[in-house]
Structure 1
């Protein structure tokens, strides 16, 4: 028994960040090292046409669960189309990037990294970029904006 109390976080209280001020992908750390786990879980939101730069995580597989939107996933020499309901599993060390191929719709994923190698800290040291009710509604319907 560890004796440590569980951590409960409210999605509506979790901030979003841009790793660099001009990025087109916002990330919100749902769980990570600062919460007592070596595995990090993020909500990632790509603006229409947005992409992250080519990147790699030597010691971590990265898993993307596509909640909504459409994308093109580049991993080393492979390119695959992604749509809502797809699960992309990238192997440690792969050079990858994801491009939101929609011109008018955001791409939403839940992203999981084991042994994140400091990635969560990179995110939370970034530029604050608040989440909207629309963003949160992709995770929990009751948090979505109500129609007027």
Structure 2
């Protein structure tokens, strides 16, 4: 079996709702690569944040690619920045907010999927812009 290779041009990008201040670019999921984890790049606008959310069984991991933020979980906040990794355990009520003067980029992996990819794909399809592509492309 051949490995699946994608570039940022191949990612499908969504805002979960019209007023969302973050976008999710699906890298791999069951629909695109027949795999159980959901892997995406989450892009937060300046001042953007996720709504507080929780996963019953899933573990969610974030690797900070660019920018600075605050990671909130169960009422506690910790600063995060490029190069940091964040692991959110199941059942933790959590959200990330961008405190950078520019966009915040994270690589997000959720295992098991727990309907995350379906939630993303139910949103509004958008595109990566030049700034996003500059961060995500090989140099």
- Identify whether the pair has TM-score above 0.5, normalized to the shorter chain: yes
The Cα shift of 1:141 comes to 3.5
For residue 32 of structure 1, the aligned residue among 20, 29, 32 is 29
- List structure 1 segments (4+ residues) > 6 angstroms apart after TM superposition: none
Report the count of equivalent residues. 138
Q: Which residue of 1 aligns with 2:124?
A: 127
The Cα shift of 1:33 comes to 1.2
Equivalent-residue separation in structure 1 for 2:34 and 2:2 (angstroms) = 11
Equivalent-residue separation in structure 2 for 1:95 and 1:38 (angstroms) = 22
Secondary structure class of the residue paired with 2:118: helix
Instruction: Summarize deviations over 1:15-63 as a string: whole Å, max 9, x none.
Output: 2100011100000110011121111100000000000100011111100
The Cα shift of 1:13 comes to 2.4
Tell which structure's C-alpha radius of gyration is larger.
1
The Cα shift of 1:137 comes to 2.2
TM-score between both structures, scaled by the size of structure 1: 0.88
After the TM superposition, which residues 82-97 of structure 1 pair with which residues of structure 2 at under 5 Å, given as runs? 82-97=80-95
Q: Which residue of 2 aligns with 1:146?
A: none
TM-score between both structures, scaled by the size of structure 2: 0.93
Q: Which residue of 2 aligns with 1:49?
A: 47
For residue 17 of structure 1, the aligned residue among 3, 14, 19 is 14
RMSD after superposition: 1.3
Secondary structure class of the residue paired with 1:122: helix
The Cα shift of 1:128 comes to 1.1
For residue 138 of structure 1, the aligned residue among 110, 135, 139 is 135
After the TM superposition, which residues 56-135 of structure 1 pair with which residues of structure 2 at under 5 Å, given as runs? 56-102=54-100, 104-135=101-132
